[in-house]
Chains A and B, each alone.
Chain A
Amino acid sequence: MWRATLSSLMTHKLRLALTTLAIVLGVAFVSGTLIYTDTVRSTFDTVFGETTAAVDLNVRGVSQLADAQGGTQFEVQTPAVPGEVADRIAGVAGVAAIERNVEGFAQLVDAEGNPIGGGQGPPTLGFNAPAVEALAPSELRDGRYPTAAGEVAIDAATARSNGFAVGDTIQIAANGPVQDYRLVGVFGFGEDVDNLAGATVTLFGPDTAFELFSQDGGYTSVDVLASDDARVADLQDRIAAAVGAEYEVVTNDQLAAESQETIDTILGFLNTGLLVFAGVSLLVGAFIINNTFAIIVAQRTRELALLRAVGAGRRQVLGSVLVEALVVGVIASSVGVALGVGVAVGLQQLLTAFGIELPDTALVYTARTAIIGLTLGIVVTLLSALLPATKALHVPPVAAMQAVAVADLGRRGRARTVLGVLTVAGGLGALGFGLFGGAGFAFVIGGAVALLIGSALLARFVVRPLLRIIGWPVTRLGIRGTVAQENALRNPQRTASTASALMIGVGLVTFALIFGASVRESTTRTIDEQFVSDFQIRSRNFMPFPAELETQAEALPAVATTADLRIAQVGIDGRVGTVAAVEPDELGTALQLDALDGDLADFSAGGLLLSDDAAERLGVGAGEDLPVTFARTGAQDLPIRAVIDGSGLDFDYLVDETTLLDNATDDGIFTLYLTVADGVDVERARTAIEGVTGDYPAVTVQDSEQFKEEIAGQVNQILGLMSALLALSILIALFGIANTLSLSVFERMHELGLLRAIGATRPQVRSVVRWESVLIAVLGATFGVGIGTVFGWMTIRALADQGFSTFAFPAGQVVIAVVVAAVAGTVAAWLPARRAARVDVLRALAAT
């Protein structure tokens, strides 16, 4: 049996290669994702290990938010450590030295005046230069650390990529407009690491840094170096006693664990996101394996029957098919885990191309990656082949004597239909429950997968009518079109399965396109409603900008009013949330809000405005008090002045500026709303405003149209990334089409021989295969558009109360997707068509 199986594999090398590819790519994607995230994690570990290696203890303010859970990716700043507390720490017995740290943001500017880094990538950090060499996180590569005002040192990677050298004058905007600094030093971290995981790092002289970054006149934290004879644990207790409960003393290990946790959270998102796409590829691969084995078993009915006739047991027949699947699975998964390295590099490039820049270092390939990849690939292959293999069980020995392969779709067909109906119903239920019933993400994913599989099971019922419509223009091409259409129609199940593999990828692309278009339309509408000012000045890199920018803008004669919006993180009902703050009398010039409960006018006395979502979740209304936990001052009861329509807003809570400044730690300005003075031309006003913002490289001035364009651009970028990640699953589906076609070509040898004998030219035979491929591809794309539209519609409806007011169907883009699928179909047909055209006429006619 073994021998029979293996020889069958070797005689169909092309089939083997194509079948294997479906799994190879899926497995490669999975292992590539793991390699990539492992690599990023290890890079961060190294960097943090290097930067905190010498620090024995770290003292910082206790954040009142520490107990609140999740909900934000922003690290909430801890309350500052005042100078006299730092002095107290230095005086504790056993403390050899302390480093007073301040940190903030410093935006470097390149020779052309463009900001370096920032945006959606790693942050642009600013710190104090080390005063205590032994505690320095960094290691000088060239020059010295800055001491005087106007001096800086930057990380070696940034210096190298921008051609900066010690002695140069460089431009930096740190908590203010761009200024010239003299570059006096270049540093790295430890011996090998040249930058902080892609971030740009600028060190200022201690006094300059304090002036720039100090919050409330204190330090961000204090690093402690224990003297040689002091036990760190004892020292920790002594310092804790000296500073009091307002401050916490953490060990090096704790620091490392915390940064590890932060990284894991961020990487967790990335990992899950990428693995979802890898899962899609594997799912498509499973479809193809399933289809291929179904065809192989059908084609081998006589061979299997012969085996049964000469005495092979049912188990042996089943075994021979499963062994073939196992061999395919093992080969494919092995190649896949090896190719994962290439995928990891590709992912790195891809994410970089889409602006998500992470450090590039040596790839980390763990045994876990290989084990997960291999197991997944083999299990998926075996499971996909299981159903077709059981079909082989039912081949009766007498089939060996019959000329025609037995098509036993009768009972199995019914079972398949029932299963399909149940899966679709269950999938829709789970999807609806997940989207509308709030059952969660797992239900949405599970429902979507079930819907896809169920649709594939039922697809054969619509193949015939749909292909008649899709194929109509093709049949106008002449006889080759007719033959192609009839070939696609002759086995609806096979055509449906093949097309379904493509349906998945195209379906998800369609969903993404609909989602993106709806987001664009909805935000456009929101911006039209809420953008009441003439211009917005916004931070380009998610970092707050200095207050003096507002002062400068306000001073412009062309500007009538300014309003600033600050953002901070607060704890509400045990969860971290984003709170925005404006001055009550500036509210009207900043945002157009609708009160659903209470009166906006009451906000003039300060207090809290709450979105309708939050009000519903918390079960509160206007007139009540809500406890809000601030990082610095802890819980404060704020009076709810009004409940507002929160659709389209980035935040659920809005407080008056004074409350925020009095209680929060981080309270930076993120947006400035400007109104142009009466009688001043808008474009002249813009020029004037840009004259001010020109010195702030990290901010941008936009009117409502530009804001819309930017949002559209961001949506397109995400769509592009999703499409690129889905491209692999579409590619796999195309291999599936190629595979099915080559199996079909093999099956139709006689007909091809006949066609050639009675005068079909090679191009005509090629064209028959190619058009069949195009028809299958367009059919799959049509399925995909259908199911993607269902997904999209349900999702948008489910998110209606979160600002997705409009369902938009981007017809043009969807048509392009279908056309691309059709073109891809011709590419998929390339090899099978060539093979069909090269059929040896005599041998084809002679073969039985």
Chain B
Amino acid sequence: MPFSRPTVGDDTRQDVTADTAIAARCVDLVKLYGEGPTAVRALDGVSVEFPRGVFTAVMGPSGSGKSTLMHCMAALDAPTSGTVVIGDTDVTTMKDRELTVLRRDRIGFVFQSFNLLPTLSAAENVVLPQRLASRRPDESWLATVIGTLGIGDRMSHRPAELSGGEQQRVAVGRALAGKPEIVFADEPTGNLDSASGAHLLGFMRRSVDEFNQTIVMVTHDPVAAGYADRVVFLADGHVVDHMDAPTAERVLDHMKRLGA
């Protein structure tokens, strides 16, 4: 096992059966790549909801459409048909500029790599979306986030001077700094060693628990999925299953069954 679940404290994960508001959802999402008979259906009628204050993992084998789903949900890519709603905003009809502002103000991102601008310091990277919006960052909130992430003493450094784990924590800091409605993370631990990965997932967990943040994370790692409240399984462009209160073992078993 590369990562292990934190054992300290109670299991504070949300009870997803309770009536929580929906942070983001999609209805009948279809995404085609290419045209005609050779077209690939990356998403084939996906409908899924991501409740507020919940850490959801999206899992599936390579080619299952999990990254495509995230890109469409996060307004990075336009679906061929279907609807994506963030909060109560239908993003499928929005123009590029509105989508950009939506991403800037209401969504946070953590990618697998290339998360930071190499020419800016960690501190500048964290507040980049607010600076792009010409807004003053909320200093006390920023201090809380940076303190929680444990990167306070690294803020004046450039990304090249930070370890991979530190870089990803700065990226998470940036994702949270603007208090977004939802954070999308695409294989955030993909390039990290297990210890750094465990730290990062722990922080993401805490941001959900302590700040009531909504996180959607795409991963193929059952251990990473074990940090989530809920797992959505994708295969061949369809939602095939979901699991509440997952553990790494259960997810792995489930994956094996799906693969079989």
B96 touches A758 (CB 8 A): no
Closest to A751 in B: B117
Task: Give the nearest-CB partner of B106 in chain A.
Answer: A759
Asked if B17 is at the interface (CB within 8 A of a chain A CB), the reply is: no
Given A483-B119, A842-B71, check contact A758 B114 (CB 8 Å): no
Interface size on A, residues (CB 8 A): 25
- Whether B77 contacts A757 by the Cβ 8 Å rule is no
A238 → chain B closest CB, angstroms: 90
CB < 8 Å: which of B71, B111, B114, B132 contacts A760?
Answer: B132
A695-733: contact bitstring with B at CB < 8 Å (1 yes, 0 no)?
000000000000000000000000000000000000000
Contacts of A474-497 to chain B: CB distance below 8 A: 478-480, 482-483, 486-487, 489-490
CB closest chain-B residue, reference A753: B114
CB contacts (< 8 Å) of A483 on chain B: these are 117, 119-120
Residues of A within 8 A of B76 (CB): 757, 841-842
State whether the Cβ of B100 lies closer than 8 Å to any Cβ in chain A: yes
Q: With A842-B76, A842-B77 in contact, is A759–B119 under 8 Å at CB?
A: no
Bits for B99-128, please: 1 = Cβ < 8 Å to A, else 0. 011011100010100111111100010001
A755 to B131, CA, bound (A): 12
Q: Does A272 contact B (CB under 8 A)?
A: no
Q: Is the CB of B119 within 8 A of A479?
A: no
The yes or no answer to B174 lying at the interface (CB within 8 A) is: yes
Task: Decide: B120 and A757 in contact? CB cutoff 8 A.
Answer: no
**With A and B bound together, what is the CA distance between A127 and B4 in angstroms?**
109
Q: Does B134 contact A (CB under 8 A)?
A: yes
How far is the CB of B136 from the nearest CB of chain A, in Å? 12
Partner of A755, one of B97, B111, B117: B117
B1 to chain A, nearest CB (A): 28
Chain B residues whose C-beta falls within 8 Å of the C-beta of A845 in the assembled complex: 111, 114
- Asked whether any CB of chain A lies closer than 8 Å to the CB of B226, the reply is no
Bound Cα distance A758, B97 (Å): 13
Judge whether B119 and A486 touch: CB under 8 Å. Answer: yes
Once A759-B132, A759-B133, A841-B76 are accepted as A-B contacts, the answer to whether A751 and B114 lie under 8 Å apart by CB is: yes
Interface string of B63-102 (1 = CB under 8 A from A): 0000000010000110000000000000000001100110
Chain B hits for A755, CB < 8 A: 117, 128, 132
For residue B134, give the distance in angstroms from its CB to the closest CB of chain A.
6
Q: Which residue of A lies closest to B124 (CB)?
A: A482
Q: Tell me the nearest residue of chain B to A752, going by C-beta.
A: B117
With A479-B131, A754-B111 already in contact, the answer to whether A759 and B103 are too (CB < 8 A) is: yes
Determine how close the nearest CB of chain A comes to the CB of B80; give it in whole angstroms.
Answer: 15
Cβ A757 vs Cβ B109 within 8 A: yes
Q: B120 to A758, Cβ gap below 8 A?
A: no
Q: Does B188 contact A (CB under 8 A)?
A: no
* Interchain CA distance A482-B128 in the complex, whole Å: 11
**B103 and A757 contact, CB distance less than 8 A:** yes
Q: In the complex, what residue of chain B is closest to A489 when comparing beta carbons?
A: B119
Interface residue A352 (Cβ < 8 Å from any Cβ of B)? no
User: 1/0 per residue A126-140: CB within 8 Å of B?
Assistant: 000000000000000
> What distance in Å separates the Cβ of B102 from its nearest Cβ neighbour in chain A?
8
Given known contacts A759-B129, A845-B114, A482 and B104 CB-to-CB distance under 8 angstroms: no
Residues in chain B near residue A760, CB distance under 8 A: 100, 104, 132
Let me know if A490 and B119 touch, CB within 8 A: yes
B114 and A762 contact, CB distance less than 8 A: no
Known contacts A478-B134, A761-B100, A751 near B118 by CB under 8 Å? yes
A764 at the interface (CB under 8 A from B): yes
The CA-CA distance from A845 to B70 in the complex, in Å, is 14
In angstroms, Cα B129 to Cα A617, docked, is: 74
Q: Are B174 and A487 in contact, CB atoms less than 8 angstroms apart?
A: no
**Taking A750-B114, A754-B111, A757-B76 as contacts, is the C-beta distance between A762 and B129 under 8 angstroms?**
no
Residue from A754, A761, A762 in contact with B115 in the complex, judged by beta carbons closer than 8 Å? A754
Contacts of B103 in A (CB 8 A): 757-759
Q: How far is the CA of A139 from the CA of B166 in the complex (A)?
A: 92
**25 A-B Cβ contacts within 8 A?**
A479-B124, A479-B128, A482-B120, A482-B124, A483-B117, A483-B120, A489-B119, A490-B119, A750-B114, A754-B115, A755-B117, A755-B128, A757-B103, A757-B109, A758-B129, A759-B103, A759-B105, A759-B129, A760-B104, A761-B100, A761-B132, A762-B96, A762-B100, A842-B76, A842-B77
* Chain B interface residues (CB < 8 Å from chain A): 71, 76-77, 96-97, 100-101, 103-105, 109, 111, 114-120, 124, 128-129, 131-134, 174
In the complex, besides A478-B131, A483-B117, A759-B105, 14 extra interface pairs with C-beta distance below 8 angstroms are A751-B118, A753-B114, A754-B111, A754-B115, A757-B109, A758-B103, A759-B101, A759-B104, A759-B129, A761-B100, A761-B101, A762-B100, A842-B71, A845-B111
